[in-house]
Structure 1
Amino acid sequence: MFEGILSLFRGTATPSETPLPPADVQHALGALLIRAAKADHAYLFEEIDQIDDVLAARYDLNPVEAAKLRASCEKLEEAMPDTAELAGILHDAIDPVEREATVAAMWSVVFADGIEEEEEDKLLHEVEAILGVSPDVSKRLHDQAMNARQRGS
């Protein structure tokens, strides 16, 4: 045990790495929500809280389960640089109604901090196109999320 502690100070300890979560629908959705939150180069408590709420509601999870899923999704989001690949997982696995719900959830995360940045807008439009959500529907979902945030403020 003492050698293990010393190896930490010497820099010779090998960090134990947590394996990546599977790139399934739940994790892909969580990763996209996280990517939307981080698009403006800030990952704020309000956004994290909104992600947890979305995951809890979407997958019938309690708050602790939702937070654990989000933490797992954070690892996947960091490991998968290609947004199109994440969105493609969802496109292939969910129906059009769920695709729209996914876009609505992403907009709710974008507006969680009360500010819509250009980077967030660009990311959402990329995901909408991959998911096959029309610009008209996307605009309606955007406006609904923005109005919900303004009413909640």
Structure 2
Amino acid sequence: MFESLLRRLLDPAPATLADPDARLALAALLVRVARADDHYTPAETARIDAVLRARFGLSPFEAVRLRTGAETLEEEAPDTVRFTRAIKEHVPYDDRLGVIEALWDVALADGARSADEDGLLRLVAPMLGVEDADSALARQRVEARRA
């Protein structure tokens, strides 16, 4: 399963991702952001699971299964560009704003705004075709919910 998705992510002209593949690509991107500061905490894994449950209507078991698969994929995937390209090409802009908000939610899940996670989000937003101002507003919405 992962090899097939990796081949499609690496393809210079990828075909439209099937829904399960798009879910896995998004989950892997969430994992990549959470791991960016080399502190992959239980708070972050719980937040990823919550995001996956809310976004895709998954049961807790299904969310954990998707996240653990995404952890494997994230370890094997060569770079962040592949995930973001797959999402950018197959997800409408308004939904990509939701992706950015979910990424900020995971990055801030451990209660700290690390420079590594912050830097990765600043890199990922334009790769997803999301304006810096929209990404900043998404971060502010997440911070307001956490306050």
Q: TM-score range by the shorter chain?
A: 0.7 to 0.9
| Partner Cα separation in structure 1 for residue 119 and residue 53 of structure 2 | 26
Alignment of 1:22-41 (within 5 A): 23=5, 24-41=21-38
| Partner Cα separation in structure 2 for residue 36 and residue 57 of structure 1 | 18
Select the structure of larger CA radius of gyration: 1
| Partner Cα separation in structure 2 for residue 22 and residue 83 of structure 1 | 17
Q: How large is the RMSD of aligned CA atoms in angstroms?
A: 1.2
For residue 104 of structure 1, what is the aligned residue in structure 2?
101
Deviation of 1:21 (Å): 6.4
User: Given that residues 21 and 27 in structure 1 are in contact (C-alpha distance below 8 angstroms), is that contact kept between their aligned partners in structure 2?
Assistant: no
Could you tell me the TM-score, scaled by structure 2's length?
0.86
| Partner Cα separation in structure 1 for residue 53 and residue 46 of structure 2 | 10
- Output the amino acid matched with 2:90: A
Percent pairwise identity: 36
Deviation of 1:96 (Å): 0.3
For residue 118 of structure 2, what is the aligned residue in structure 1?
121
3-state SS, counterpart of residue 109 of structure 2: helix
Unaligned runs of 5+ in 1: 1-18
Deviation of 1:144 (Å): 1.1
Change (3 A) 1:127 1:114: same
Deviation of 1:20 (Å): 2.3
